[in-house]
Copies of this chain bind each other. A is one copy, B any other.
Amino acid sequence: LRLVAAVSILALAASAQAQPAAKKPAPTKPLADILAASPKSAWRALDQANLVYLDLPKGRVIIELAPAFAPNHVANVKLLAKAGFYDKGGIIRAQDNFVVQWGIPDGQPDPPLGGAKEKLAPEFTRASQGLAFTALPDRDSYAAQTGFVGGFPAARDPKTGRAWLTHCYGTVAVARSAEPNSGNGGSLYAVIGPARHLDRNLSVVGRVVQGMALLSTTSRGEGAMGFYAKPADATPIKVRIGSDVPAADQVGLEALRTDSPTFATVAEARRNRRDDFYRTPQGGVDVCNVPLPVRPKS
């Protein structure tokens, strides 16, 4: 299965390059054109029960949860959101080139957990078996193989039989202290810089699918590790699960299926972009540099 997936991307790449009459390969189509030509079957509607609405004073951030990778942490996040736990906290940290984090400021007592577990065993990796993994054919600095699972950037190691979600721009994971089981989802972070060195050391629960710029432009904290020196500097937040939001206020979104031929074309366009502007194709791509298109539900 893994080879088939890898080959499917390569095969598309090869067919895109083998234009019969032209000596030069055909120019790469812009992303918007590739998406405009995509069939409806290439898209999947996001399930409101799996979306976190993170409302900031300046706008709305939406996160898709990944229960296939961190079922217990995702369950906790849902319970905490339903209990209004996060609304007692805020954005407490913004470290340039690394992460933006939200939760309860240090020194403030934890609000009631609403049935969520206080501690959870780590969900840093999971068994690779049973996952439909669309592999990239390219070398990676951190993992034996990278690719995509159900819309999320991922990696796996055939030697250990484990798979995990990678820390890419927009990845959301569970903050913790030194003990591996010290995170319960009450404090979460979104990646805003290179952070693959966190892979397999933290529990990834999802990724931002809308409003990422609201997090990435957050004023950086001036305390150690980008924490705000004064808890009062925390940006207020309101966190709900999509299915708990009144229907009129829900945001319908659909994401490009990462196992679709259209996505293979998107990935290949980034691996080997050739057009009037890009004269030298790269011959490869980092798993964190493949676009993961999301659009309003049609």
Spell out A's residues near B (CB within 8 Å). Answer: 96-97, 124, 138-142, 168-170, 177-178, 180, 192-197, 199-201, 212-213, 216-220, 270, 273, 276-280, 282-289
| CB-based contact A218/B217 at 8 Å | yes
Q: What's the Cα separation between A197 and B216 when bound, in Å?
A: 21
Closest to A219 in B: B217
Q: What's the Cα separation between A280 and B285 when bound, in Å?
A: 25
Closest chain B CB from A263 CB (angstroms): 17
Closest to A287 in B: B141
| CB-based contact B279/A197 at 8 Å | no
Closest to A278 in B: B201
Q: Which residues of B contact A212 (CB under 8 A)?
A: 96-97
Q: What 4 A-B pairs come out closest when comparing CB atoms?
A: A194-B289, A139-B139, A178-B276, A96-B213
Closest chain B CB from A127 CB (angstroms): 16
| CB-based contact A142/B217 at 8 Å | no
Picked from B192, B193, B194, B217, the residue with its CB within 8 Å of the CB of A220 is B217
Given contacts A139-B141, A141-B286, contact A124 B276 (CB under 8 A): no
Closest chain B CB from A128 CB (angstroms): 16
Picked from B124, B169, B193, B282, the residue with its CB within 8 Å of the CB of A142 is B282
Q: What's the Cα separation between A289 and B168 when bound, in Å?
A: 12
Q: What's the Cα separation between A7 and B230 when bound, in Å?
A: 46
| CB-based contact B289/A196 at 8 Å | yes
